[in-house]
């Protein structure tokens, strides 16, 4: 039936990481490729209790259709949770999503006509690229700097598009511990980005999956809170990293007119999010000792990070010409190799040596692809796997044939 597919879908191949993961079935492979939080920090007892309760007395409601915007109890719990982070909003500013990916899809569908432009960082989150590719998006994108987006380059890109009569639709950023780079945007740049958005009347889409996972440095206010309800920011959140990914629950926040449209799109696209799953997330926000939970998660992940960085120091002498970021939180760091190395090709050599990463190309729009970088997840492997995996990775890079280096 291919001839009947839309032109966009004829070439669409989905989220590129999916294609990589199929090579990782071999249990001997040490994978730095996934984005998996560790199950060791999931509050299992709370989850079991909440599931039992949801299927207890009120099982009739839990097993029926439920309101499209989301469960009232969860929406109220989210409002209270966000107040801890300086965000004050009402129920008209929230839609419960079926995860962060769903939140991205809602954004793409609301704003993007085919060939519309998005302002973004290079590299940027591959899942966002995939969601926006379904709308055939193009990008005005600028290389990330160590303190976040290159605001001046973004402005130059916007001006250029305006001159060409093709104004962009929004600015997409992951300000905290960005996926894939691990880079965090400074307070100064956040303020400059907000001013940029206001100057050009461009909404800022702030993707915040990792905000509670800061291991060092000082917490920086979110763009949403800095905007002080001026309506300039749409916030994307998920329970996947702060709680657990398996329930597939997240939420988008923003101006009421945007959220109402998200409700409409959701009504026609998945109808509602399962109440059972929402009940468990509401129990997490209401009943868990959130400070203790996040502290435990931070301790757990920051040890992994420290360990990973130590192993990198041990196995990657300066002479290899390899650089890497040292994130203050999140689940990922970013390794840049000499330009002569193509990490797409390196990936297949690496899995032969039983170690895996995500090639950097996954995090670039197709026309702006960079070949000599890779994303590393440090949160899932054990300490032992980290040591052995980093050693394997160093060997694979060392042995990358000079011939192939062009």
Candidates 271, 292, 320, 404: give the one binding its own copies (CB under 8 A).
271
Bridge partners (DSSP) of residue 237 are 251
Task: List CB contacts of 262: < 8 A, sequence separation 6 or more.
Answer: 95, 106, 110, 252, 254
Residue 272 makes contact with its own copies by CB under 8 A = yes
Task: List CB contacts of 36: < 8 A, sequence separation 6 or more.
Answer: 245, 377, 379, 380
Candidates 98, 124, 184, 343: give the one binding its own copies (CB under 8 A).
98
The residue ranges of DSSP E strands in 116-269, in sequence order, are 117-122, 138-143, 170-173, 204-207, 233-238, 250-253
Q: Closest distance between its own copies and the C-beta of residue 169, in Å?
A: 6
**Site map for its own copies, 338-377, x if CB under 8 A?**
----------------------------------------
Task: List CB contacts of 232: < 8 A, sequence separation 6 or more.
Answer: 194, 197, 198, 203, 204
Nearest to 10 by CA among 23, 1, 22, 21: 1
> For residues 169 and 137, what is the distance between their CA atoms, to the nearest angstrom?
10
Binders in 30-59 for its own copies, by CB under 8 A? 34-36, 39, 42, 44, 47-48, 51-52, 55, 59
**CB-based contact 122:103 (threshold 8 Å):** no
Binders in 147-206 for its own copies, by CB under 8 A? 169-170, 203
Q: Closest distance between its own copies and the C-beta of residue 178, in Å?
A: 19
Candidates 87, 107, 122, 134: give the one binding its own copies (CB under 8 A).
134
Q: Closest distance between its own copies and the C-beta of residue 353, in Å?
A: 25
Is the Cβ of residue 131 or residue 220 nearer to its own copies in the bound state?
A: 131
Contact range with its own copies by CB under 8 A, out of 2-10, 215-223, 286-294, 327-335: 2-10
Half-sphere exposure for 92 (CA within 13 Å, toward CB): 5
Q: Closest distance between its own copies and the C-beta of residue 338, in Å?
A: 32
Is the Cβ of residue 138 or residue 392 nearer to its own copies in the bound state?
A: 138
Candidates 91, 221, 231, 321: give the one binding its own copies (CB under 8 A).
231
Nearest to 96 by CA among 336, 285, 224, 229: 285
């Amino acid at each position: 039936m291919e001839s009947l597919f839309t032109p966009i879908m004829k070439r669409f191949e989905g989220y590129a990481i999916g294609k990589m993961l199929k090579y990782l079935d071999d249990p001997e492979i040490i994978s730095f490729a996934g984005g998996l939080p560790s199950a060791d920090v999931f509050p299992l007892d709370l989850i079991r209790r909440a599931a039992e309760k949801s299927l207890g007395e009120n099982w009739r409601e839990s097993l029926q259709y439920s309101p499209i915007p989301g469960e009232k109890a969860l929406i109220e719990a989210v409002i209270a949770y966000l107040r801890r982070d300086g965000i004050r909003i009402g129920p008209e500013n929230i839609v419960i999503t079926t995860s962060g990916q769903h939140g991205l899809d809602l954004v793409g569908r609301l704003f993007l006509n085919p060939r519309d432009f998005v302002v973004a960082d290079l590299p940027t989150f591959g899942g966002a690229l995939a969601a926006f590719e379904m709308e055939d998006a193009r990008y005005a994108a600028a290389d990330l700097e160590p303190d976040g987006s290159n605001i001046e380059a973004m402005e130059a890109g916007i001006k250029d598009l305006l001159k060409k009569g093709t104004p962009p639709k929004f600015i997409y950023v992951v300000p905290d511990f960005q996926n894939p780079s691990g880079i965090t945007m400074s307070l100064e740049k956040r303020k400059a980005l907000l001013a940029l958005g206001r100057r050009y009347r461009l909404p800022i889409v702030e993707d915040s999956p990792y905000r509670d996972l800061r291991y060092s440095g000082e917490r920086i206010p979110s763009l949403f809170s800095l905007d002080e309800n001026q309506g300039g920011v749409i916030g994307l959140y998920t329970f996947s990293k702060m709680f657990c990914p398996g329930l597939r629950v997240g939420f988008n926040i923003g101006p009421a007119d945007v959220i109402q449209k998200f409700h409409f799109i959701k009504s026609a696209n998945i109808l509602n999010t399962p109440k059972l799953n929402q009940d468990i997330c509401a129990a997490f926000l209401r009943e868990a000792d959130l400070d203790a939970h996040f502290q435990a998660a931070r301790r757990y992940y920051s040890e992994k990070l420290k360990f990973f960085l130590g192993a990198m120091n041990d196995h990657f002498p300066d002479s290899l010409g390899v650089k890497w970021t040292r994130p203050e939180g999140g689940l990922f760091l970013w390794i840049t190799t000499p330009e002569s190395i193509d990490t797409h090709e390196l990936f297949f050599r690496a899995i032969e040596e039983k170690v895996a990463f995500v090639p950097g190309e996954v995090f670039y729009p197709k026309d702006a692809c960079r070949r000599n970088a890779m994303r590393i997840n440090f949160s899932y492997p054990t300490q032992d796997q980290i040591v052995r995996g980093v050693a394997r990775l160093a060997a694979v890079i060392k042995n990358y044939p000079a011939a192939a280096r062009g």
